[in-house]
């Protein structure tokens, strides 16, 4: 979240930023509650000081004075009994509004209303020109017997699936490939829990409960299935102070990801593009504020390197204000060409959340001079398996319905398999 002091001093800029991000947040009401909150806190402190003073006087007072002082003490207690619940109510509304305020936007981020106004900044390769009518990944994978959507729906419901045969090995190859590359780049490997507490999700910027949530929550608990390892790795150092000389911390984490994908059942969501469960390898970094932009570029470039190695055509887009969401100051997506969409489709994303998540999760850096401040947190997809499979299957398809395996993945396939063919 933003520092309330910053919001007080830059109210109009914060309001404008909310508008550009298509986020409804009553900043004026927040500041009104902030003022009421400060006055209420001051009033309560004055009452408590008066109560303590009366208690001291009662101890040394004579009998005839004590009765009057006790009555005065009761009156103060009654006032506190009214003021403290009022403050609690103000604090609740104040915090709800403060958590809704999005991060400020990087000055170089494009201004736009939605994803149609994201700006392409890099492109690698061009959409393939097939000398046959290309198929979508869903048809190809079913024909090759490497996925089963029908039984996935029977067992778990729509938008679930079974990977099978070479599809399983391809998933494992993508995981191994991403981990090997990133460990060599200095990332520490993790495998994370699939569940996280409400307070961790709120800290990262997800809404764990309520009508608009995209999260599966566990009934009668404060636990939720995670939608990304960004959640678990962001919570990893919650309420900690990290010495300056330990930064940056660079982590690469494997997790299952669960998303309700409510309202996402359009034509372009078919097959593996939007599913309720998938596996993902995620990069996460904790860094000094002055190193934040440099780290964001590093993560973006690693995503580029991964997909260049996979050999699929893709582009990098700079996300516009209306598509940024809440936590990110700046965000880049990689979009690969997908024949099933006849368009580009998102395969990775990387965000610099600056101190926004760190403030909510209370993660600080201790400088060499002893000063403590909120550090910066960044995240980026290495490989989201479901989306990567779409890009590989569709771009490497052959006229006979077989699919070539990217060369960088073959060493993890059985007997160095080069092609998936129909059995």
The pLDDT tens digits of the residues spanning 3-15 come to: 999 999 999 999 9
pLDDT given at position 423: 79
Rounded Cα distance, 27 and 113, in Å: 20
Q: What sign does the CA torsion over 281, 397, 338, 314 have? A: positive
Rounded Cα distance, 322 and 343, in Å: 21
Cβ-contact 138, 272 below 8 angstroms: yes
In the predicted model, what is the mean pLDDT of residues 407-417?
97
Percent of the chain with pLDDT over 90: 89
pLDDT given at position 151: 97
- The string of pLDDT tens digits covering residues 225-279 is 999 999 999 999 999 999 999 999 999 999 999 999 876 566 667 899 999 999 9
CA end-to-end distance (rounded Å), the chain = 54
Number of other residues whose CB lies within 10 A of the CB of residue 184: 8
Among left, alpha and beta (phi > 0; psi -120 to 50; other), residue 165 is left
Rg of the chain in Å (alpha carbons)? 27
Cβ-contact 242, 366 below 8 angstroms: yes
pLDDT given at position 274: 94
Write the DSSP string, 55-69: HHHHHH--HHHHHHH
Cβ-contact 336, 307 below 8 angstroms: yes
User: What per-residue string of b and e applies to 341-360 under the rule 16 or more CB within 10 Å gives b?
Assistant: beebbbbbbbbbbbbbbbbb
Second CATH level (architecture) for the domain 4-100: Orthogonal Bundle (1.10)
What are the residues whose beta carbons fall under 8 Å from the beta carbon of 239, sequence distance 6 or more?
361, 362, 363
pLDDT given at position 265: 60
- CA angle in degrees (0–180, nearest 5) for 321-331-110: 35
Q: Given a cut of 80, is residue 63 above it in pLDDT?
A: no
pLDDT given at position 70: 85
- The string of pLDDT tens digits covering residues 93-151 is 999 999 999 999 999 999 999 999 999 999 999 999 999 999 999 999 999 999 999 99
Query: How high is the mean pLDDT of the chain?
Result: 95
CATH topology match: 4-100 vs 115-420: no
Percent of the chain with pLDDT over 70: 98
pLDDT confidence bin for 61, thresholds 50/70/90? confident
Write the DSSP string, 40-56: HHHHHHHHHHHHHHHHH
Cβ-contact 418, 410 below 8 angstroms: yes
Rounded Cα distance, 291 and 417, in Å: 42
pLDDT given at position 264: 58
State whether residue 343 is helix, strand or coil: strand
Q: Given a cut of 70, is residue 191 above it in pLDDT?
A: yes
**pTM over 0.85, yes/no:** yes
CATH topology for 115-420 is BirA Bifunctional Protein; domain 2 (3.30.930)
Q: At what angle do helices 166-184 and 292-310 cross, to 10 degrees?
A: 140
Residue with tokens 């829990």: 193
Q: Given a cut of 70, is residue 184 above it in pLDDT?
A: yes
- The string of pLDDT tens digits covering residues 23-56 is 999 999 999 999 999 999 999 999 999 988 988 8
Domain ranges of the chain: 4-100, 115-420
Closest listed residue to residue 205, CA positions, set 12, 358, 78: 358
The pairing of strands 277-287 and 376-384 is antiparallel
Distances (CA, A) of 352 to 9, 287, 291: 23, 10, 11
Q: Given a cut of 90, is residue 64 above it in pLDDT?
A: no
pLDDT given at position 205: 93
């Amino acid at each position: 979240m933003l520092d309330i002091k910053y919001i007080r001093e830059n109210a109009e800029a914060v309001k404008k930023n909310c508008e550009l991000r298509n986020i409804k947040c009553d900043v004026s009401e927040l500041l009104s509650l902030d003022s009421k909150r400060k006055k209420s806190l001051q009033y309560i402190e004055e009452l408590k000081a008066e109560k303590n003073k009366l208690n001291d006087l009662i101890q040394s007072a004579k009998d005839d004075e004590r009765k009057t002082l006790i009555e005065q003490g009761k009156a103060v207690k009654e006032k506190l009994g009214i003021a403290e619940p009022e403050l609690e109510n103000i604090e609740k509304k104040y915090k709800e509004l403060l958590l809704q305020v999005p991060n400020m936007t990087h000055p170089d981020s494009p201004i736009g209303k939605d994803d149609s106004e994201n700006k392409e900044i890099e492109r690698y390769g061009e959409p393939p020109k097939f000398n046959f009518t290309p198929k979508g990944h869903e048809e190809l994978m079913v024909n090759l017997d490497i996925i089963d959507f029908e039984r996935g729906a029977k067992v778990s419901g729509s938008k679930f699936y079974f990977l099978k045969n070479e599809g399983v090995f391809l998933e494992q190859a993508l995981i191994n490939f991403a981990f090997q590359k990133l460990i060599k780049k200095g990332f520490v490997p993790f495998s994370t829990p699939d569940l996280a507490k409400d307070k961790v999700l709120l800290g990262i910027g997800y809404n764990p409960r309520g009508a608009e949530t995209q999260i599966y929550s566990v009934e009668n608990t404060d636990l939720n299935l995670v939608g990304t390892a960004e959640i678990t790795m962001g919570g990893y150092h919650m309420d900690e102070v990290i010495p300056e000389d330990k930064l940056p911390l660079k982590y690469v984490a494997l997790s299952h990801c669960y998303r309700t994908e409510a309202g996402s059942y359009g034509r372009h969501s078919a097959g593996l593009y939007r599913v309720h469960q998938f596996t993902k390898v995620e990069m996460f970094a904790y860094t000094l504020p002055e190193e934040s932009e440099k780290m964001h570029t590093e993560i973006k470039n690693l995503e580029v390197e991964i997909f260049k190695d996979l050999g699929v055509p893709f582009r990098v887009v700079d996300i516009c204000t209306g598509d940024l969401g809440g936590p990110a100051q700046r965000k880049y997506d990689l979009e690969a060409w997908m024949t099933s969409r006849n368009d580009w489709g998102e395969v990775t994303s990387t965000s610099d959340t600056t101190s926004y998540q760190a403030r909510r999760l209370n993660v600080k850096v201790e400088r060499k001079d002893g000063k403590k401040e909120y550090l910066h947190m960044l995240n980026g997809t290495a490989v989201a398996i479901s989306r990567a499979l779409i890009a590989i299957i569709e771009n490497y398809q052959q006229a006979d319905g077989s699919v070539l395996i990217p060369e960088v993945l073959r060493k993890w396939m059985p007997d160095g398999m080069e092609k998936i063919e129909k059995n």
